[in-house]
Amino acid sequence: MAGLPDGQRASISARRRPMRRGERPKPALAGWAAAGLLMLLSSGCHHRQQQPYAPPPPTLGSQPSNAARSDRAPIPAPKGRPEFVETGMASWYAPSGHRAADGSYYDGAGMTAAHKTLPLETIVRVTNLANNKSVLVRITDRGPFAHGRIIDLSERAAKKIDLYRMGVAKVRVEAYLNTSPRTVSSWCVQTGAFPTRKDALDLKRALLRRYAGSQVIEFAGATGYWVRIHPAHPGHAEAVAIMEWIGRPFPHVVPYLVRLN
């Protein structure tokens, strides 16, 4: 060990010293093992956890509160022909207890569904095209926000048409709307989801500047940040104009219409 500094020679000599009688070996690797375990646990905390579906908050305005209504009761068969029909992919969402867009609390055992644009309280017949089984549900919530899906069923409704285990199935949606001539339709525009709140606020400020007198909100959801504008004149033509304008300065977002009544 010639040529080594005194401190290093002393350290090496100490490691080579024979053990005395009754002396236990020191766990030299214990500290390293503990440090490695801590690093492993901390790295696991950075794994991205899957978040449950959480719909946007209830629409601003005078939406009815249906907290006392039982969504588990059978829905009477609608009369006449459906006023709206579409075909696409359906899914279901399970966690009970969140506040639905109509003001009620979502119940997985109820006969309800979420749709992006149909008026709340609309009665809808959903048919699984793989087995021709159908179920009647009431639109009480907004969604789904997963790309390529047109309706989210409650857990019970999904089980009735054998969609529960599959998770996703192609369906036909037939909506029975209120077609009274005295009913004036009211619309808003929603867009998102933005990855950051700043992106949502940029659109919110632009909408407030261009459409003075409108109500504009931004809010966080399970998939990002959303923006919703309630036009001062909530007719269909005004909502369409807003939706088309959003696509020009913000081509990366996807706006869509939501009927409120």
Residue 69 C-beta-side C-alpha neighbours within 13 Å:
18
Q: What is the pLDDT of residue 184?
A: 65
- The last residue of one of the domains, among 135, 150, 176, is 176
User: pLDDT tens digits for 52-81?
Assistant: 333 444 343 334 444 445 677 778 888 888
Are 107 and 148 found together in one domain? yes
Q: Is residue 118 part of a domain?
A: yes
pTM: 0.52
Are 197 and 228 found together in one domain? yes
- The last residue of one of the domains, among 147, 176, 205, is 176
Q: Is residue 220 part of a domain?
A: yes
Rounded (10°) angle between helices 236-246 and 197-210: 130
User: pLDDT tens digits for 95-142?
Assistant: 666 778 777 788 889 999 999 888 888 999 999 999 999 999 999 888
Are 168 and 127 found together in one domain? yes
Are 194 and 141 found together in one domain? no
Are 170 and 195 found together in one domain? no
CB neighbourhood size of 215 (10 A) = 16
Task: Give the CATH number of the domain where residue 193 resides.
Answer: 3.30.70
Q: Is residue 246 part of a domain?
A: yes
Q: Is residue 197 part of a domain?
A: yes
Q: Is residue 214 part of a domain?
A: yes
Q: What is the pLDDT of residue 17?
A: 52
- The last residue of one of the domains, among 152, 176, 200, is 176
- Cα separation, 240 vs 80, in Å, equals 29
Domain that holds residue 220: 187-259
SS3 82: coil
- Cα separation, 124 vs 138, in Å, equals 6
Taking the alpha carbons at both ends of the chain, their separation in whole angstroms is 90
Are 103 and 165 found together in one domain? yes
Number of domains in the chain: 2
Task: Give the CATH number of the domain where residue 96 resides.
Answer: 2.40.40.10
pLDDT tens digits for the chain (261 residues)? Answer: 555 455 444 444 444 455 555 555 554 444 444 444 444 434 433 433 333 333 444 343 334 444 445 677 778 888 888 988 999 999 998 766 677 877 778 888 999 999 988 888 899 999 999 999 999 999 988 888 788 899 999 999 999 999 998 899 999 999 986 544 445 678 888 887 788 899 889 999 999 999 988 999 888 876 778 888 988 888 888 888 898 888 888 777 778 887 776
Nearby residues of 224 by Cβ (< 8 Å), 6 or more positions away: 192, 193, 194, 195
Are 93 and 146 found together in one domain? yes
Are 93 and 166 found together in one domain? yes
Q: Is residue 72 part of a domain?
A: no
Q: Is residue 13 part of a domain?
A: no
Q: Is residue 54 part of a domain?
A: no
